[in-house]
């Protein structure tokens, strides 16, 4: 019996902690609160070969942004299907909502979201975030109205994908 107790104690002392990450999409409130700037942008130019999208500012919803173009490069780390989805959407005149702070940005193009990091004067999109559709999915014009209302302290009802967990 003593041997069994000593063996159990030895195994208990030799264990290492196991760290886990439960990564879920942020809520719309979290995205709004974390952003220092929220900007309505319009696609100005697209270069699909270079995977580049140039936006022009339409309006500031939170914070104040300059008038210079907002340049996004769809990085090679973005899954090819996700890059195609973004670049197929990107036509001059299309609008997006651009949430950013000094280093990280979320961009909502209506039916899809992606994350970018700043690199010189370009935002490098490095990760598609379809789970952000649990926070909001729908037109960017409707999202613009919702954000304006939320920032004014009003309650809104938003459209989002339903999260379905099936173990």
What's the rounded mean pLDDT across residues 36-64? 97
- Predicted structure pTM score: 0.80
Contacts of 88 (CB under 8 A, 6+ apart): none
- The more confident residue out of 129 and 68 is 68
Domains and CATH numbers, the chain: 26-151 (2.40.50)
Specify the DSSP element, H or E, that contains 13: helix 2-13
Interval 19-31: pLDDT, tens: 544 456 678 888 8
Q: How far apart are CA 115 and CA 122, in angstroms?
A: 13
């Amino acid at each position: 019996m003593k041997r069994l107790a000593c063996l159990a104690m030895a195994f208990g002392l030799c264990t290492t902690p196991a760290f886990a990450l439960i990564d879920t999409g942020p809520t719309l409130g979290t995205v709004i609160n974390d952003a220092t700037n929220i900007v309505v942008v319009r696609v100005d130019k697209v270069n699909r070969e270079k995977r580049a999208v140039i936006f022009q500012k339409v309006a500031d919803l939170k914070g104040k942004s300059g008038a210079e173009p907002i340049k996004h490069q769809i990085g090679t780390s973005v899954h090819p299907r996700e890059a195609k989805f973004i670049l197929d959407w990107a036509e001059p005149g299309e609008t997006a909502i651009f949430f950013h702070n000094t280093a990280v940005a979320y961009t909502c193009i209506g039916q899809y979201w992606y994350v970018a990091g700043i690199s010189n004067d370009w935002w490098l999109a490095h990760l598609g975030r379809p789970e952000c559709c649990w926070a909001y999915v729908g037109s960017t014009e409707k999202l613009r109205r919702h954000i304006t209302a939320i920032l004014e302290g009003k309650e809104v009802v938003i459209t989002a994908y339903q999260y379905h967990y099936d173990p």
